[in-house]
Each structure stands twice: as structure tokens, then as C-alpha cells.
Structure 1
Amino acid sequence: GLCPERDFKVECGGFSKRPVYSLKCVPDTSLLVTSGPPESSLQVWQVSAEDSDVIKLVSTIATENGTGQSWAKIATISARAPWVLHGSRLDRVHVTEVESRKNVYTAASRDSEKLSGLAFLDCNTLLLCCATGRLCLADIRQPQSLVEAVSVPSASCSEQWCVGTRHGAQGLELGSQAVARLSSRGLLTLTDLRKTSESLASAKATIPSPDTGAEFLCVSWAPALESCLAISGFDGTVHVYDTQSWDNSGKEAEPIFVHKGHAFGGAGGSRDPPLVTVHTWHLQKPRTLLSAASDGSLHVWDWVQPCGKCG
């Protein structure tokens, strides 16, 4: 029921001279942090005051050996000060104070595995996910510590993984919520970080063509629902699953809803079918999601609750 002309109005904007592959707002500030090709530096943006509608670039956070590195994955927090967690490889993970650009933490790993995602679990604990599916925990109070949480024994060399944590994880007990991982072959695994010796559950997503690429794989937990998650990055759709009945059999799971709007949108006028590049859940409205695609389209949509599902 949303209408672009009626319900959406541009409040402010700006221009980036480089592609933006990741964008995070810095909590409790008017700052944004972005990253993207061709290397791993970050851009810090200021959402201007009321008398201006310009989002302007205010600084750049450079990384050592940044040249030639892939674009950095980023996460933000404002527990003590506005911080950004960023890195493209396991041995190049940093926590940087956004405003002063002071380095707060550097990972001690000798492993240079490529990262597919990272997150603050709380103001001291970091979760890092390698492209191979391996999870690592780090504590910024112990610069030499980097603990492997759990790996994926059955992963093939060509398989790529991404990770999703709950929005409400910050400030909660470590691992009190399950971490979800999604592979480029459509395998979904749920892990409790308090008990990493075994998987909570696993399932096979119903995707059209496995291994079509992993650049835009995305898995996310519904922040206002107990057991629902969404996945995208395989084609022009977003799938919603209810994990409540999953076990460790790894059997194929049927989505309870599939958003197909991008597949029929054609916003960019391209003959190639659009690919969903990212999606996220609305933080207050339980069944509202936002998704963007490679044709430039942005959708805000609801899904109908099946009887007895995702209560």
C-alpha cells in the first residue's frame, strides 16, 4: 500500500565518487560510514543540520595495506564512543573511533582468510565470519585473543558463506540468540555461540540455481519475531523462513513467503533480470522488510502471516 510519490520524500542527499557496497549509520550521531570498491578504506559522512539538505563527506578512514584489498565489511556501535568495526580479511580487522579516527583494536590473527561479515555482539565482543563459513570471536580487551567459535566441516572449497545476527544482540548475554549462516549452495545453519560444539539446526533453502555467486548473499533475523529469518542474493527474490521446526537433518525447507517484486520491476530498463543485493527488516513492524536490487529498485513490503507461523 506504499506509494513512492505519497509516502517517500527525499530529506537530504549527497554523491559518492566510488561505489557504496555497505552503509551503516553510527548510533546516536548524525554520521554514516560507507565502504566499497576498489579497496578497504572507509568514508565517513555527515547528515547535515536542519538548514541544509546535503550529506557531505567529512573524512576517510584509511587502513594499512589497504591498496589491493577487497572492500571492507563494517559494523557500528556507540556503547562508549562512536566506533566502527571494519575489515576485509581476518588478519586486518580493526575497531576505529569514528570521529577521531583513532585505532581502538587490531586483530592478532595470522590467518588471512577473506571475511564475509562481522558484528558487535556487545561493546567488547566481536563476531567475525570468514567466507569459508568459519566463525571467530574476539575480545577487544584482549588484543591477542581470537577464538574460533565453530567451522563448517562439510563446506566445499567453492562454497561461500555469510552470517546474520539479531539486531537486539547488543547488550545481551553473549550468544543468547542464535547466529544464522547461509552458503552459496543454499545451506542454512543456526549456531548458539555459548555451545559451539554442535549446530542448533540446519536446513537447505529452496533456491533456483546454487552457486550462482556469493557477492550479495544476505541472511537476516526478524528482530520482532521469535523464529523467522530472510535470505536473498540468489536471484530477484527474498525468501522468508520459519526456523521453529528445523532440526539437524539438513533437509529442504519451504519458505513461508517469497517476495518476487524485484523480478518483475525492471526499474533500470535492463534486459538482465535484477538481483536482490541486500534486504533488512523494519525494527518495529514485525512483518515489514526493505529490499534493494541491482536495477536500482527499492521495495518496502509486508508479508502475510500464515496461520500459526512466526508468532
Structure 2
Amino acid sequence: MEAGDGAAEDEWLLESLRLYEALHTFELQAPTRVIEWARGSRVCVAGYGHSGGNEILQLLPPPTLQVKETQGLCPERDFKVECGGFSNRPVYSLKHVPDTSLLVTSGPPDSSLQVWQVSAEDSDVIKSVGAIPTENGTGQPWAKIATTSARAPWVLHGSTLNSVQITEVESKKNVYKAASRNSEELSNVAFLDCNTLLICCAKGQLCLADIRQPQSPLEAASVPSAPCGERWCMGVGRGPQGSDSSSHPVARLSSGGQLTLTDVRKTSESLASAKCKVSSPSSSAEFLCISWAPALEGCVAVSGFDGTVRVYETQSWDSSGREAEPLFVHKGHAFSGLDGSEGPPLVTVHTWHPQKPRTLLSAASDGSLHVWDWVQSHGGCG
């Protein structure tokens, strides 16, 4: 670190006593760009290096994530490795198949998928149980994936709009293939329910698909007033309690820090917009991430620009697109070390705890993994 960074870290640690209900840190052997909740509140992470031998690990979270009582600031290595395996390719996306012990991963150099079995309790191995090849997948970007078990263990996957499909994980049978000639690159895919899919293109367009109508072409709804040349990602939330089950708020984030809120029932219209203050736009948008809090209404978290995770309360946003003030900023990764390149570590991914309202997990390019819960008085959510 540069001179003065130690003092800044000490200041942040002292500030943490006031800002956080709980803060846990863990150092992985290699950085991860995936944090996925699995069965029994386990957490899965995986390496994304291109030299092979990337670990896929299932971790037992620290006790404070499994009980109601908080335990304050805790020392490092509160996570425990429960089981693991090795992937000979980078893991850019990892999804647990609900109600099963299966994991699905994707990553370069093509759009194929890998299927993994988390072994029984008497084994500590995550083993490969097959692959899902894709038609004309060689040379295509890595596949974006989502999973469901509403009807059967399914995986939704695709790297471009004309390659979107659903495959039954165990039989490898094709269940659905989208009707589209558009080769627009994708940034995210999601199941809204067992029949409805939402797809976000890298340029920000949204597409809604119904698998009961496989011949209907995917129609892309563009981002209102979207700056040209920026890359986008999306996060899909749940509607307010008591609202129509088809109501899903969608937040989109651009590499320039633009934030747009949409309802899936009217994907061509913007409900509200804002600007996320970032030190510098994300040139590659490689780690761009936005997600809705599952247990707090109207809260989103944003990362991928620097070593921070910012939490925003969206209910005060309007159509002006003005700069939004974050409710809370987690700065811990910026002080956790260097990743071997110039500058501080970059947050690679974050995710919310499914039940604990203000608890998030975040990881950075230096291999740091943090679990944090901010004090409620420092934010309006909750």
C-alpha cells in the first residue's frame, strides 16, 4: 500500500465498530467472481483463473449467519471449507439447482455448461458429473445461466439472444429454445416463474419470453435515454408484499453508473432513474453487479467500479436521473490488500443474505471475502 494507507485502514477499522452490527473477513486461496447460496445456508465460491485448476468450494458460513444473535466484529477465517472440487476452466458463473445437490457452472472459452454433484455428507468432494454442450458454442461468449426446479431441475442459459435455451440438467434434454435471429450479447438471464423468462442484453435491452409460446420471437425493449457505448447488467427483485405475483421490479446498471428501474409488465418504460457516483466508469464492466435486497423493500446494492459496495434506497428516485446518495458504503475491500496490479482491489461480486435484511457477502480481486451487516441507524432500509 502507499504511504498513509495504513492510517486510513486503522481509521476504517475504528469506524467499523460504529457502522457495523457484524463484520467477518476471510481470505480465499484465489479470488472468486461467484457467491452462491446452496442447501442448508452453505455458500459456494470458485476461482476464475485461466491457468486451470480452479477450486470450487462449498463453505460453512460463520455462526452469526446461522443464528439470530449477532456476535460483533469477528476474526478472520470464520468460514470453514466443507467440500470442494477442481475445474479445468475459469468459473465465471455458478448456480445451485434448487432442491438438489447439483451445481451448474459456465465460463470461457465457450458457451458450454459444466454440471457438478456436491457429494453426500460422508465425502468432501464436489465432482464433475457431465457437461451440457451448446450448438455452435465454440468461439461464443461464456453463457449466462439461471436455474429452477419448479417443474424439474432446469437451467436457462445462453450467450447471445439467439442462443437462449432451457435444458433439463440431469437428462440434458432441451426443453425450450428461443425464436430469435438477433445475436446481441447477453449480460443476465432469469426465471421469473416456471413459464416466464427475463433476459438482459449487454447493451441494456430487456426481453420477456414465455416458454409456452416457443415460436414467439424475443422482442428487445431498449433502455429509455440510454447512453451509447455503455454495457449494462440487471437485477430482478420481488414485488411489494401483497402485490401481483407478476410484478417484478427490475434494476439495470450501466458501466457509466446509470441506474434505471423498470417493471417487467412494461419493460419499455422507465419507472425511475438515478446516477450512481463512481470514481471512474467501469471500462470493461466485467464485474458489474446490481442486486435487490430480498428482505428489504426497495433496496439495491451496486458494485464493480472499485473496492466498495454501495447500498441505495430506490423509493425516493424519480425520473430526473440525478445522482443518488447511498445509504451505506462498504469500504472494507479497499483496505484488505493489493491484488498484484496497480491500485486497490476491485469488488468482483456481492450477494444478499436470503433472510437477514441488512447482511451482504462480497468478494474482491485480492481473494478477500467479507460478510457484513450495517447498523440500521446508518440507512433507511429495514
Length-normalised TM-score, structure 1: 0.94
Match of 2:162 among 71, 91, 103: 91
Tell me the alpha carbon deviations over residues 112-146 of structure 1, each in whole angstroms, 9 at most, x when there is no partner: 00000010000000000001110001111111124
SS at match of 1:13: strand
List aligned pairs for 1:100-111, cutoff 5 A.
Answer: 100-111=171-182
TM superposition shift of 1:271? 4.6
The whole-number CA distance in structure 1 between the counterparts of 2:100 and 2:214 is: 27
Identify the residue that residue 29 of structure 1 maps to in structure 2: 100
TM superposition shift of 1:208? 0.8
List aligned pairs for 1:249-288, cutoff 5 A.
Answer: 249-266=320-337, 268=339, 271-288=342-359
SS at match of 1:262: helix
8 Å contact kept, 1:168–1:223 = no
The whole-number CA distance in structure 2 between the counterparts of 1:287 and 1:124 is: 31
Please list every run of 5 or more consecutive structure 1 residues that lacks an aligned counterpart in the other structure.
none
Identify the residue that residue 309 of structure 1 maps to in structure 2: 380
SS at match of 1:230: strand
The whole-number CA distance in structure 1 between the counterparts of 2:95 and 2:238 is: 13
The whole-number CA distance in structure 1 between the counterparts of 2:85 and 2:379 is: 44
TM superposition shift of 1:244? 1.3
The whole-number CA distance in structure 2 between the counterparts of 1:229 and 1:274 is: 22
Percent identity over paired residues = 77
Identify the residue that residue 304 of structure 2 maps to in structure 1: 233
Identify the residue that residue 207 of structure 1 maps to in structure 2: 278
The whole-number CA distance in structure 2 between the counterparts of 1:210 and 1:175 is: 34
List aligned pairs for 1:1-311, cutoff 5 A.
Answer: 1=22, 2=24, 3=74, 7-148=78-219, 150-166=221-237, 173=244, 175-266=246-337, 268=339, 271-306=342-377, 309-311=380-382
TM superposition shift of 1:293? 1.2
Length-normalised TM-score, structure 2: 0.77
Say which is worse superposed, 203-212 or 11-20, in terms of deviation.
Answer: 203-212
Cα gap change, 1:62/1:16 in structure 2, threshold over 3 Å: closer, same or farther?
same
TM superposition shift of 1:109? 0.7
8 Å contact kept, 1:236–1:293 = yes
SS at match of 2:91: coil
8 Å contact kept, 1:181–1:190 = yes
TM superposition shift of 1:96? 0.3
| One-letter amino acid matched to 2:109 | P
Please say which structure displays the higher CA radius of gyration. Answer: 2
| One-letter amino acid matched to 1:166 | G
The whole-number CA distance in structure 2 between the counterparts of 1:280 and 1:308 is: 18
8 Å contact kept, 1:175–1:192 = no
TM superposition shift of 1:213? 2.2
8 Å contact kept, 1:133–1:181 = yes
Would you say how many aligned residue pairs link Structure 1 and Structure 2?
Answer: 309
SS at match of 2:334: helix
RMSD: 1.9
SS at match of 1:244: helix
Please list every run of 5 or more consecutive structure 2 residues that lacks an aligned counterpart in the other structure.
1-21, 25-73
Cα gap change, 1:173/1:141 in structure 2, threshold over 3 Å: closer, same or farther?
farther
| One-letter amino acid matched to 2:333 | H
8 Å contact kept, 2:348–2:364 = yes
8 Å contact kept, 1:174–1:194 = no
Say which is worse superposed, 93-102 or 146-155, in terms of deviation.
Answer: 146-155
TM superposition shift of 1:193? 1.5
Q: Which has the higher contact order (CA 8 A, sep 6+)?
A: 2
SS at match of 1:40: coil
8 Å contact kept, 1:267–1:297 = no
TM superposition shift of 1:298? 1.0
8 Å contact kept, 1:267–1:296 = no
8 Å contact kept, 1:235–1:274 = yes
